[in-house]
Amino acid sequence: MIAFFVHPAAGSYDFRKGLDGGYAMEWLHMYVLPNYDTSKIEQVNSAQSYSVRYEIGGTLAMAPGDTKVVGSEYGGEFHIINENDIFHMLLVNDGRITGAYTNNDEVTVDSINIQGMDREGIHEVYGEPVGTVDKGEKRLIVENDEYDVFEIDDIYVFFFYDLHKADEVNGLLIVEQSEMENGELYNHPPAADNEEMKFQLVNATRIQYGAGALDHHDGAADAAGRHSEDMADNDYFSHDSPDGGTLKDRMEEQGVRFKLAGENIAMGHTSPIFSHHSLLNSEEHRVNTLNDAYTHLGIGVDYNSEDVPYYTENYIKK
């Protein structure tokens, strides 16, 4: 231990500058906390083709006119961009790009791209994933078959896998660690923002997998919202309410006419991104998400007294 610390110090100490705070941090990052080796990432990225590129720390140029801005579980806001069916969401804080999410291999962020990648390929390039991430004062366990997390210098990189397609990468989330410094596990935005994000995620995934995008349906959304609220207020998690109410009952109460209907529910995920990928990897929920018979979708989100989110997706064929 003594040799490990003393030898680098003796070899690197600058007697002209002295061991001030700035130099001490520089020394720590050089010898004790070395930067992540990005050469493999850049090598893979150079062989990939893409049309949209961003850098973490850069500024957001003029976005397309139909860009939607929603709150997030992080410090910044997500700008949802879906130009030419190239879906991505940029996390922006005071005009600065601090993160991004995409399911499209036309998008590259800091030379990180999901084109042609699967779990095995990710591990070859990025090494071993981390088992925890820091969020505020909490250290969260993130060991999960559905995604891996890598710590690259000052950012967290999440790769989401499709467990039903040989662990292909079908989503990428990049977040600056500074965006996760809030002290709450659920730093949630208004429910309407999460509903908008989830609606966009579902349609982007349907396009990704060859199904048609769905139109928004106000009645289905109202029924979904009422069910999320009921689950949150009455502390249960089920498609059937404690009083025996079903999806059919809720639809009829809102005057929704339909030929076919399906419902996905989730709870506890810190954002629609994690909820969405979890549902997609569940066989019975995936059927609804990717069913090309459906024509419309309504999303409802609500929180319980401890800020835990409940998500309901109502799919219908009119």
- In the predicted model, what is the mean pLDDT of residues 64-72? 85
Q: Is the pLDDT of residue 54 over 80?
A: yes
pLDDT in tens, 232-287: 999 999 999 999 999 999 999 999 999 999 999 999 999 999 999 999 999 999 99
Cβ neighbours for 130, distance < 8 A, ≥ 6 positions apart: 142, 149, 150, 151
Q: Is the pLDDT of residue 6 over 70?
A: no
Mean pLDDT lowest for which of 55-69, 134-148, 196-210, 231-245? Answer: 55-69
Cβ neighbours for 136, distance < 8 A, ≥ 6 positions apart: 180, 181, 182, 183, 184, 185
Task: Give me the residues paired with residue 70 across strands.
Answer: 78
Work out the mean pLDDT of the chain and round it to a whole number: 88
Q: What percent of the chain has pLDDT over 70?
A: 87
Half-sphere exposure of 277 (CA within 13 A, CB side): 26
- In the chain, alpha helices (H): 2-12, 21-27, 39-46, 119-126, 191-208, 218-234, 247-253, 272-280, 283-290
* More confident call, 21 vs 197: 197
3-class secondary structure, 290: helix
Closest CA to 211 of 297, 139, 311: 297
Half-sphere exposure of 251 (CA within 13 A, CB side): 24
Spatial separation of the C-alpha atoms in residues 17 and 3, rounded to whole Å: 23
pLDDT category at 186 given cuts 50, 70, 90 is confident
DSSP letters for 53-89: EE-TT-B--PPPTT-EEE--SSSSEEEEEEETTEEEE
Residue-level length of the chain: 318
Q: Is the pLDDT of residue 221 over 60?
A: yes
Spatial separation of the C-alpha atoms in residues 68 and 307, rounded to whole Å: 24
pLDDT of 51: 85
CA 88 centroid distance within chain: 11
Residue type, 26: E
pLDDT in tens, 22-52: 445 444 444 444 556 777 777 777 777 778 9
The CATH number of 52-179, from 3.40.33.10, 2.40.30.10, 2.120.10.30, 3.40.50.620, is 3.40.33.10
Give the homologous superfamily in CATH for domain 191-317: CAP (3.40.33.10)
3-class secondary structure, 3: helix
- In the predicted model, what is the mean pLDDT of residues 90-97? 95
Spatial separation of the C-alpha atoms in residues 115 and 181, rounded to whole Å: 30
End-to-end CA, the chain: 70
pLDDT of 216: 98
pLDDT in tens, 97-129: 999 999 999 999 999 999 999 999 999 999 999
- In 13-143, alpha helices (H): 21-27, 39-46, 119-126
pLDDT of 194: 97
Task: Decide whether 52-179 matches 191-317 in CATH topology.
Answer: yes
Q: Is the pLDDT of residue 65 over 50?
A: yes
Q: Where are the domains of the chain?
A: 52-179, 191-317
Sheet bearing 309-317, strands edge to edge: 215-216, 296-303, 309-317, 260-267
